[in-house]
Structure 1
Amino acid sequence: MNPSTAFATVVVDELIRCGVREAVLAPGSRSAPLAMALAEADRDGRLRLHVRIDERTAGFLALGLIRGTGLPVPVVTTSGTAVANLHPAVLEASHSGLPLIVLSADRPPELRGSGANQTTDQLKVFGDAVRLFHEMGVPRREAGQVAYWRSQVARAVSTAVGARTADPGPVQLNCPLVEPLVPTEGPDWPEPLDGRTTGPWTAIHATSAQPSALAVGPKTVVVAGDGASQAARLVAEAGNWPLFAEPSSRARTGSAVVPTYRLLLGATSLADEIERVIVFGHPTLSRPITRLLSRPDVEVVVVAPTGRWPDAARRATSVITGAEVIGTDETDWLARWLHADELARPAIDKVLANSTSPGALTGPSIAALVGSAVGADGMLVVASSNPIRDLDLAPVVPIRTIANRGLAGIDGTLSTAIGAALANAGPTYALVGDLAFLHDTNALVIGPGEPRPDLRIVVVNDNGGGIFSTLEQAGTTHFERVFGTPHDTNLEALAAAHRIPYTQARTPEALQAALTTTVAGIDLIEARIPRPTTLPQALTTATTQALKQI
C-alpha cells in the first residue's frame, strides 16, 4: 500500500475497534483514502457509512446518530472550506457533550501559505470547542507509524467519550495526506498493519466518583434541563420533591413531574417558598427557571458528572458528580405543586383551544398532537425557538425527545433528525418551525444508494420568526423585515423537488389523521398558523386565575 492508503486503512480499522459503528462522509479529493477505507468497511459490514454532499448537513447528521446510539461518530471532510462548514456542529457537540470525531483531510504542511488549491490553516480551526486536537503528520513508509496511528486514534476516541475526564465532546484529527490518494501497487509495508488481536490498541477505563448525600430539609425542587437523564427523576422521587423537567431532559416522567411548572412559577406563591434547587442537565428553555436559579435566597446545587457544569447566573452553591438522597420529605410540599398543576391544566388547555378561533391549530396544540402520536417506541426531535417551548406546555412529552440545546440553534435540525431516525428502530418524528426547516433543507438531499430513515417531519409554518412576536422586539420599527422575516416559500413544491410525500393540515382533526398513518420513509406535514402574538400573556392570565383558590 502507499502511505495515504495505509494510513486510512489503519485509522478506520482502529475507529471500529474503539466502538465506532456509524460514520459520515462529505466527498472530496484529498479525503479520498479515508473515503475508500470507510466504503470498504461498510461493504464488509463493519460499520454503516452515510454520504452527504453538504458538510454542515454531514456534521449534524453525525450528531443525530450520536444522540440516537450513544456511540461516537466520525465525520470526514476534505480540506479547505469543507472543514469550516463543520463548525456549527462542532460547537453544538461541545456544548452538549457529544463525542463527534472530526477527521479533516489536509494538504501536506509544505503547501500551507503557498496559495495551493484548497489549502488553508486547519490547525486548531475549531479553537477550544474541541476537547482534543492533533495533527497526525504526513504518513511515512517506516516502522512505528502503525503504533502511532492506532494509539492516537484510541486516545482521540477515549477523549471524545470522556472515558478519563468525564467531559465528553468533539475532537479533531487533522490528516495531511499525500499523493497518490488512491490505492496503488508498491513494496510491502515495513511492519504489519494489523491491530491488537481483540479490542482497541489502548483500552482506557473510565474513572468513577462517589455520589454526594442530599439531606431532606429545605423546600426543594429538581430542575432537569437538556440531557438530564432519569437520574433527575430518581432524585426527585426519592426526596418527594417537585420535578421541573424540560422536554429534552429525558426525565419528564414519573410521580413527581409537574408539567405546567413554567407557568406555575409566575402564577403562584409556591414559587416564593422554594429554598433549594437541584439542577441536572443544561436548563436553557424558560425565563422563569432562569429567574429561579438567579434568586439570592435559593441554594443551587448542580449535579454534573462531567468536568463542566451549567451556572449561567453564577449562583451555584455546590457542584457534585452524583446525588444520593438521605430520607424523604414527609410534608405536603410535592402534593401542593401537583394540586396546582391539576388546577392549571384545564385553564391552559382552554386557552390553547381558543387562542385564535375555536377548532384552529396553534403551536402548542400541534406540539401536543405530535407528542401523543410518537408513542412509547417512537422518538421525537424538536427544533429550538417556538416548537420546544410549545412542547413544554403539552400534557404528554415523549421520553425519547431530542433537541440541539447545547447552543439552542435552529441550524442542522433536519440533519439531526435524520441521523436520530437512522439510529432508531421505531418511528421518528421531527417537530420544526418553518425557518428551521428552510435552514436545513439540504438534509433532504440523500443519494439513491444511501440508508434512508423512517421520519415524519411536521413543520409549524407561521411564515417567519414567530418567536420574536412574543419577545421585546414585537412592535418595534422595521419588525417585519428584520425580525419577522417572512419568506412565502411553497413547502409543497419543495417537498415535490425532493420526492417527499406532502400533506397540509388545516385543522386539529386533519393533523391527527395525518399523524396516525404509518411512518415509512420521509414524509412532510405542513401546519400553517398565525403568529402567536397574545398567547403567552393569555396563558399567564389563565393560570393565575385558576390558582386563585390556593
Structure 2
Amino acid sequence: MNPSTAFARVLVDELVRGGVTDAVVCPGSRSAPVALALHQAELSGRLRLHVRIDERTGAFLALGLAKASGRPVPVLTTSGTATAHLHAAVLEASHSGVPLLALTADRPPELRGTGANQTIDQVGLYGGAVRLAADLGTPEVGREAQQNRYWRSLVARALLVARGSLSGDPGPVHLNLALREPLMPEGADPRPAVPEGPWAGRPDGAAWTTAAPGTGPMTTTPLPPSATTTRPRQRRTLVVAGDAPSAVGRSTSVVADQRGWPVVAEPSSGAWGAAGAVRAGALLLGSGAWAAEHRPDRVLVVGRPTLTRPVSALLADPDVVVETFTPHPHWADAGRGSASVSGVLPDPGAALGGLDSSGHRPAEGWVQAWATASQRVGAALDAELDAAPRLTAARLARDLVAALPAGALLVVGSSNPIRDVDRLAVPRAGLTVLANRGVAGIDGTISTAIGAALAHQGAGGGPAFALMGDLTFLHDLTGLLTGDGEPVPDLTVVVPDNDGGGIFAQLEPGRSEHAASYRRVFGTPHGRDLVAVARSLGWAATAVGEPGQLVAALRAGGPRVVVVRTDQRAEAELAVRLGRLAADALG
C-alpha cells in the first residue's frame, strides 16, 4: 500500500472513531486518497458521504449538517483555489460556533513555492477564523508507527477543538494534507476501507510500495541520459512559453522568430502565433524515441508553463540548461532546474555571424526536424478527428479555434479544454487567448470571460468566445446573471458536456481497477440539461453535434451558450488513441 493511501485510511478511521457520521467531498486529483477512503467508509456503512461539484456549496452543505447535528463534519477539497471557496463557510462557522472541518489537500513540501500547477500557500489560509490550523507532514518510510500516533492524536485533538470540548468555544478547524504521488491505490479498490499495514500499528500489516517524489504512475519520466550522449556541437535551443501577459508573449515571438528557434507555446502565452510555434508540442516531447533524438541542449522559459507533463519533465531534466525569463516574481520552476532567472529577454540583435550568444552555430537541421514532425503529427491527428461524423470534445477544441474570426477573443477554461486546445488546435495569430492559469482553478470562468469580453470589445476588439467544461460552467452559473441595465458583451460560451468530471477519466482515477469509486467521487454526473439551465438564466442556448452546426452557432453571435454533448469514457479512449497516432507518425 502506498503512503498516501495508507495515511488517508488512518485519517478517515480516526474521524469515524471520533464520532464523524457525515462527510462532504468535492472532486479533485490531489485529494483522491482521502476521497477514496471516505467512499470506502461509506460502502462499509461507517459514514454517509455527500458529493458536490462546487466547493462553496459543499462547504455550506457541511456547515448545515454540522449546525443541525452538533457533530463535526469534514469537507474535503483539492489544492489551489478550491480551498479558497471554503472561506465563507469557515467564517460563518467561526462566528456561529459550528464544528466544521476543512480538509484541504496540498502539494508536498518539495513542490511548494515552485510555481507547481494548482498550488498556492495554503498554510494559515483561513487566518484567525479557525480554532486550530495544522499542516500535516507527508508520510515517510521508516517512521510509520511514530507518524501513525501523531496523525491519530492530531485528528482526535482537531475533533475536540471543533466541538469546543477543551475551551467551550466550538468552531471550525483546518487540516492541510500534504500528499505525494502516487495518489491512487494499487489494484482494485478494497472494501471495506480499514487501515492496513504499518500505518495501522499492526506488526502483521501488508507491505506497501513507495515512490520517490515525481515518479508516480502518471508522471512523465525524463528521457534516458544516453539520449544526450551523441548531441551535435550545434546549439539546440527550444523556447517554452507559458501563460504570460500579452506584451511578454509578443516579445517572445519576436525573439524566437528572429533567432529561428522552435517554440512550444501554451495557448495563453501570447506567443502561440509565433512563426516557429509548434503544433502539438507536448505530444512531440512525450513521444519517446523521437523526443530523445531531438532533445534540446538549452530551453528558454518565458512566463509560467504549468500545463503539460512532458514539458515539466523536460524542464526537470538535469542534462538540459534551463534559462527562465519572467516579469513575475512567482515563476514556475517545479523541477527546480532553472540555471538562471531574468526579467529581461535576450536581445534578438545579439546574434552575430550566424552564432547565438553562446558561440554555437544554430542547429538548422534540428529546427527543420521540429517543423516536419509537427506537420506529420498534425496530419495524423486531423485524420483521426475528421473520421468521426459528430463532434467530440477533442475535435471541438480544434474546430473552434480554426473557426474564430480574426480579432476575436477566446477564454479557455481549465481542466480538459485548455489541454485539448494545446495539443490539438493549430496555433494561429490574430486571436487573443486568455486562461486563468495562475492557480489553474475552474472557478469563476464565466465571470472571467464576461469581464474579458467587455474589456476586449470596449477597446474595439471583435466578438468573444469561451470554451469550458460542464463542471466549470456549472461552477459559475451565477456569472450568467447580469443585473438590469448592466452591459452584456457579445460572448458565446461553448460547453463540451460529458456529464461530470471528464478529465479524471484520462488520469489515474479513470483506470479500470478504480471503477467502483470512479462515478461517485470523480465522475460526479450532474444529469442536467445545460441548454435548459442557460435559458432559465436568460441566455440564448442551443445544442449542436455536427461540425456544420457548430460553425452556424458561432456565427449567430452572443450572448449565447452552445452545448456539445460528449462521453467521458469515449473521450479518454480517444486521447489514448491520439497519443499513439502521434508516436506512430514520428516513427
Q: Does 1:331 align with 2:364?
A: yes
Please report how far the alpha carbon of residue 440 of structure 1 lies from its aligned counterpart in structure 2 after TM superposition: 0.3
2:383 is matched with: 350
Please report how far the alpha carbon of residue 514 of structure 1 lies from its aligned counterpart in structure 2 after TM superposition: 1.2
> Structure 2 residue aligned with 1:269, among 278, 287, 290?
290
SS at match of 2:277: coil
1:283 is matched with: 305
Q: Does 1:536 align with 2:572?
A: no
Q: Is the 8 A contact 1:373 1:516 kept in 2?
A: no
SS at match of 2:410: strand
Q: Does 1:254 align with 2:274?
A: yes
Task: Note closer, same or farther for the CA distance 1:490–1:317 as it changes in structure 2 (3 Å cut).
Answer: same
Counterpart-to-counterpart distance in 1, 2:536 and 2:583: 48
2:322 is matched with: 300
Q: Which has the higher helix share?
A: 2
2:507 is matched with: 471
Counterpart-to-counterpart distance in 1, 2:396 and 2:553: 12
Q: Report percent identity of matched pairs.
A: 41
1:223 is matched with: 240
Task: Note closer, same or farther for the CA distance 1:218–1:91 as it changes in structure 2 (3 Å cut).
Answer: farther
> Structure 1 residue aligned with 2:446, among 414, 417, 440?
414
Please report how far the alpha carbon of residue 260 of structure 1 lies from its aligned counterpart in structure 2 after TM superposition: 1.7
Please report how far the alpha carbon of residue 256 of structure 1 lies from its aligned counterpart in structure 2 after TM superposition: 0.9
Q: Is the 8 A contact 2:236 2:363 kept in 1?
A: no
2:176 is matched with: none
Please report how far the alpha carbon of residue 114 of structure 1 lies from its aligned counterpart in structure 2 after TM superposition: 10
Counterpart-to-counterpart distance in 2, 1:396 and 1:91: 34
Q: Does 1:395 align with 2:434?
A: no
1:370 is matched with: 400
Q: Does 1:311 align with 2:341?
A: no
> Structure 1 residue aligned with 2:498, among 453, 456, 462?
462
Please report how far the alpha carbon of residue 374 of structure 1 lies from its aligned counterpart in structure 2 after TM superposition: 2.4
Please report how far the alpha carbon of residue 396 of structure 1 lies from its aligned counterpart in structure 2 after TM superposition: 4.1
One-letter amino acid of the counterpart of residue 391, structure 2: L
Counterpart-to-counterpart distance in 2, 1:346 and 1:330: 25
Please report how far the alpha carbon of residue 510 of structure 1 lies from its aligned counterpart in structure 2 after TM superposition: 1.3
SS at match of 2:508: coil
Counterpart-to-counterpart distance in 2, 1:455 and 1:488: 25
Please report how far the alpha carbon of residue 271 of structure 1 lies from its aligned counterpart in structure 2 after TM superposition: 4.3
Please report how far the alpha carbon of residue 90 of structure 1 lies from its aligned counterpart in structure 2 after TM superposition: 12
Give the TM-score normalised by the residue count of structure 2.
0.55
RMSD: 2.9
Counterpart-to-counterpart distance in 1, 2:381 and 2:95: 64
Task: Note closer, same or farther for the CA distance 1:500–1:423 as it changes in structure 2 (3 Å cut).
Answer: same
Counterpart-to-counterpart distance in 1, 2:450 and 2:292: 39
One-letter amino acid of the counterpart of residue 293, structure 1: L
Counterpart-to-counterpart distance in 1, 2:324 and 2:340: 6
> Structure 1 residue aligned with 2:265, among 241, 245, 248?
245
Please report how far the alpha carbon of residue 399 of structure 1 lies from its aligned counterpart in structure 2 after TM superposition: 3.3
Counterpart-to-counterpart distance in 2, 1:89 and 1:114: 22
Counterpart-to-counterpart distance in 2, 1:298 and 1:230: 25
2:560 is matched with: 523
One-letter amino acid of the counterpart of residue 374, structure 1: L
Please report how far the alpha carbon of residue 259 of structure 1 lies from its aligned counterpart in structure 2 after TM superposition: 1.1
> Structure 2 residue aligned with 1:359, among 384, 389, 412?
389
Counterpart-to-counterpart distance in 2, 1:422 and 1:443: 13
One-letter amino acid of the counterpart of residue 494, structure 2: V
Counterpart-to-counterpart distance in 2, 1:243 and 1:461: 32
Q: 1:203-218 residue pairs with structure 2 within 5 A?
A: 218=235
Task: Note closer, same or farther for the CA distance 1:395–1:295 as it changes in structure 2 (3 Å cut).
Answer: same
SS at match of 1:317: strand
Counterpart-to-counterpart distance in 1, 2:237 and 2:504: 33
Counterpart-to-counterpart distance in 2, 1:396 and 1:300: 24
One-letter amino acid of the counterpart of residue 233, structure 1: S
One-letter amino acid of the counterpart of residue 346, structure 1: A
One-letter amino acid of the counterpart of residue 223, structure 1: V
Task: Note closer, same or farther for the CA distance 1:232–1:90 as it changes in structure 2 (3 Å cut).
Answer: farther
Per-residue deviation, residues 82-123 of structure 1 (Å, max 9, x unmatched): xxxxx959989xxxxxxxxxxxxxxxxxxxx999xxxxxxxx
SS at match of 1:401: strand
Task: Note closer, same or farther for the CA distance 1:336–1:287 as it changes in structure 2 (3 Å cut).
Answer: same
SS at match of 1:274: coil
One-letter amino acid of the counterpart of residue 337, structure 1: W
One-letter amino acid of the counterpart of residue 222, structure 1: V
SS at match of 1:506: coil
Q: Is the 8 A contact 1:256 1:334 kept in 2?
A: no
Q: Is the 8 A contact 1:270 1:337 kept in 2?
A: no
Counterpart-to-counterpart distance in 2, 1:315 and 1:488: 44
Q: Is the 8 A contact 2:544 2:564 kept in 1?
A: yes
Q: Does 1:487 align with 2:526?
A: yes
Give the TM-score normalised by the residue count of structure 1.
0.59
Per-residue deviation, residues 211-249 of structure 1 (Å, max 9, x unmatched): xxxxx9531100000115122222222322110001111
Q: Is the 8 A contact 2:278 2:427 kept in 1?
A: no
Counterpart-to-counterpart distance in 2, 1:543 and 1:509: 26
Per-residue deviation, residues 133-159 of structure 1 (Å, max 9, x unmatched): xxxxxxxxxxxxxxxxxxxxxxxxxxx
Flag structure 1 segments of 5+ consecutive residues without an equivalent. 1-55, 57-86, 93-112, 116-126, 130-215
Counterpart-to-counterpart distance in 2, 1:338 and 1:453: 38
> Structure 1 residue aligned with 2:476, among 428, 440, 443?
440
Q: Which moved more, 1:269-278 or 1:537-546?
A: 269-278
Q: 1:493-508 residue pairs with structure 2 within 5 A?
A: 493-508=532-547
Q: Is the 8 A contact 1:240 1:256 kept in 2?
A: yes
SS at match of 2:441: coil
Counterpart-to-counterpart distance in 1, 2:446 and 2:372: 38
Please report how far the alpha carbon of residue 536 of structure 1 lies from its aligned counterpart in structure 2 after TM superposition: 2.1
SS at match of 1:334: helix
Please report how far the alpha carbon of residue 310 of structure 1 lies from its aligned counterpart in structure 2 after TM superposition: 1.5
SS at match of 1:258: coil
One-letter amino acid of the counterpart of residue 256, structure 2: A
Q: How many residues align?
A: 346
SS at match of 1:534: helix
Q: 1:124-273 residue pairs with structure 2 within 5 A?
A: 218-227=235-244, 229-267=249-287, 268-272=289-293, 273=295
Task: Note closer, same or farther for the CA distance 1:114–1:254 as it changes in structure 2 (3 Å cut).
Answer: closer
Per-residue deviation, residues 406-433 of structure 1 (Å, max 9, x unmatched): 1111000000001011111221001010
One-letter amino acid of the counterpart of residue 437, structure 2: R
SS at match of 2:572: coil
Q: Is the 8 A contact 1:462 1:529 kept in 2?
A: yes
Task: Note closer, same or farther for the CA distance 1:534–1:447 as it changes in structure 2 (3 Å cut).
Answer: same
Flag structure 2 segments of 5+ consecutive residues without an equivalent. 1-55, 57-79, 86-93, 97-119, 123-232, 355-361
One-letter amino acid of the counterpart of residue 425, structure 2: A
